[in-house]
Structure 1
Amino acid sequence: MMGRTHALTGWCAGLAAAPLAGLAGGPQVLVFAATTAGFALLPDLDHPGATASRFLGRITGGISRLLRWSSRRLYAVTKGPRDERCSGQHRHLSHTVLFALALGALTAVGTAAGGRWAVLAVLLFGLLLADHVLGDLVGLAGAAGFVTLMVKSGGLVALDGVQVWLGIAVALGCVVHDLGDAVTESGCPFLFPLLIAGETWYEIRPPQWLRFRTGKGFETWIVFPVLVVLSVMLVPGVLEAV
């Protein structure tokens, strides 16, 4: 999938999953969804040309290089007898449910230890990354929700107690990214390290007729417009108003 499709899918998934994470207020839901949208781009850090890799220049570029090296090394020592001969760099380590859960847990624990400023850094990274790809569609909504929370709570105190749902938003964004890549022609080995048909990096994908090519007509003219409609209808209060 293209970056904007990943981000918009993350936004929709965040809006739908927010009640399950115990979030009922509109501002919290918007911040949760915008964070999920931003982190739905993160697995592509394993590609040097991806938006996430270029987002903060040398900082995200350096993380991208480290992730690509780690993915190559992990693939070399874990590939099964029938896994393809490849570098194991793109769509491998960072495109797994294991990676998503680990990053979500690390986010929750890290922000709990780091306090409000750590929470703020993660939130801003997700919001700005989503805004960078989707612009005002998500950026303003997420920013409005964030400002509303700050005003209602009297400042940074709004960042207390959000570590768990912040971790959920990060993990959900990564999982949604994996599922999006799984319906493309290449598939996605998101169930690593389960051994499937002799492969530990088995590319999960639907039947041929349900797959589409990244960036081509089906994604541009069918998938993305449908997501745009859902991205509005799932916003708290919109469906009731309609």
Structure 2
Amino acid sequence: MMGHSHALSGAAVWLAVAPALVALPGVLGPEFATVTGPILTPPELVAGAVICAGAAMLPDLDHPSATIAQTFGPATYLLSRGVNAISGGHRHATHSLLFAAFAGVGVHLLAGRYAVGREIVVVLMIGLALRAVGFGVPGKTLTSAAVNVAMTAGLYLTFYSLGVTYSWLGIAIGIGCLVHVIGDCLTERGCPVLWPIKGRWLLPFDIGIKTGKTFEKQILGPALSVVVIALLCLRLMPA
């Protein structure tokens, strides 16, 4: 899938499952209240959708040639090169259930121990989300990076001023990565879901989505945009 499809899918899934996440403390135990936090308050809900959208791009940092790797210019490009080398190339380790779980748990532990680490993750996810949905200047890598930095800073400061807690950060990262994996399983190439076990999961009979083709650009993308807007209105509508 293309970047904007992944990002919109991440935002849509977050908005869809947010009420269920709030119910976790009652089902799994009160200790989960510190993990979920005030997810359904408007600032947290919007921030969660943005963070999950960015996290839905995280697995593609294994692709240095992808637009998303240019989000913050040389910084994200070098990060992408490192991820590519460690993961074994594009659509390998980062496109698996193991990576989604590792990313979610790892970020939760990081956020709980190091405030600076949490803020770095938040900034990166906001930047990835904005870049994925098209904020930038076509053909201008450094200009696009500068635009993204400015918009990311503005959105980050907005969330900060509204008192967003990010107690749910690890959950949003894990869900976003999982959404990406599921999305790519619906394409013609599939994903190594059970990595390091070999084999790719994909739709049978060659009916997978053709990345970047007419269906994704003219039908799937607009449909996901409508779903995100509809869910956002539904969640923010006064009871």
1:215 aligns with 2:215: no
Deviating 4+ runs (over 4 angstroms): 143-146, 238-241
1:191 aligns with 2:194: yes
Where does residue 32 of structure 1 map in the other structure? 48
Where does residue 122 of structure 2 map in the other structure? 123
Q: For 1:63-84, what per-residue CA distance to the aligned partner results, in whole angstroms no more than 9, with x for missing partners?
A: 2222222223xxxxxxxxxxxx
Where does residue 58 of structure 2 map in the other structure? 42
Where does residue 147 of structure 1 map in the other structure? 158
Alpha-carbon contact 2:58-2:177 (below 8 Å) kept: yes
- The residue type paired with residue 132 of structure 1 is R
1:177 aligns with 2:180: yes
Alpha-carbon contact 1:30-1:145 (below 8 Å) kept: no
Report the Cα offset of residue 130 of structure 1: 1.1
Alpha-carbon distance between aligned partners in 1 of 2:159 and 2:83, rounded to the nearest angstrom: 36
Where does residue 15 of structure 1 map in the other structure? 15
TM-score computed with the length of structure 2 as normaliser: 0.77
1:227 aligns with 2:224: yes
Alpha-carbon contact 1:9-1:227 (below 8 Å) kept: yes
Query: Please, what is the CA RMSD of the aligned residues?
Result: 2.5
Where does residue 114 of structure 1 map in the other structure? 114
- The residue type paired with residue 180 of structure 2 is H
From 203, 207, 225, the equivalent of 1:206 is 203
In structure 2, relative to structure 1, the CA distance for the partners of 1:180 and 1:27 (3 Å cut) is same
Alpha-carbon contact 2:97-2:194 (below 8 Å) kept: yes
Report the Cα offset of residue 57 of structure 1: 2.4
% identity of equivalent residues? 35
Alpha-carbon distance between aligned partners in 1 of 2:63 and 2:100, rounded to the nearest angstrom: 17
Alpha-carbon contact 2:62-2:83 (below 8 Å) kept: yes
Report the Cα offset of residue 238 of structure 1: 6.4
Where does residue 55 of structure 1 map in the other structure? 71
Alpha-carbon distance between aligned partners in 1 of 2:179 and 2:159, rounded to the nearest angstrom: 27
Alpha-carbon distance between aligned partners in 2 of 1:105 and 1:52, rounded to the nearest angstrom: 23
In structure 2, relative to structure 1, the CA distance for the partners of 1:175 and 1:146 (3 Å cut) is farther
What SS does the aligned partner of 1:35 have?
Answer: helix
Q: For 1:94-149, what per-residue CA distance to the aligned partner results, in whole angstroms no more than 9, with x for missing partners?
A: 1011011111111111111112x33322222212221222258xx99xx7797366
Alpha-carbon contact 1:190-1:203 (below 8 Å) kept: yes
What SS does the aligned partner of 1:185 have?
Answer: coil
Q: How many residues align?
A: 206
From 158, 168, 171, the equivalent of 1:168 is 171
Report the Cα offset of residue 226 of structure 1: 1.1
What SS does the aligned partner of 2:191 have?
Answer: coil
In structure 2, relative to structure 1, the CA distance for the partners of 1:28 and 1:16 (3 Å cut) is same
TM-score computed with the length of structure 1 as normaliser: 0.76
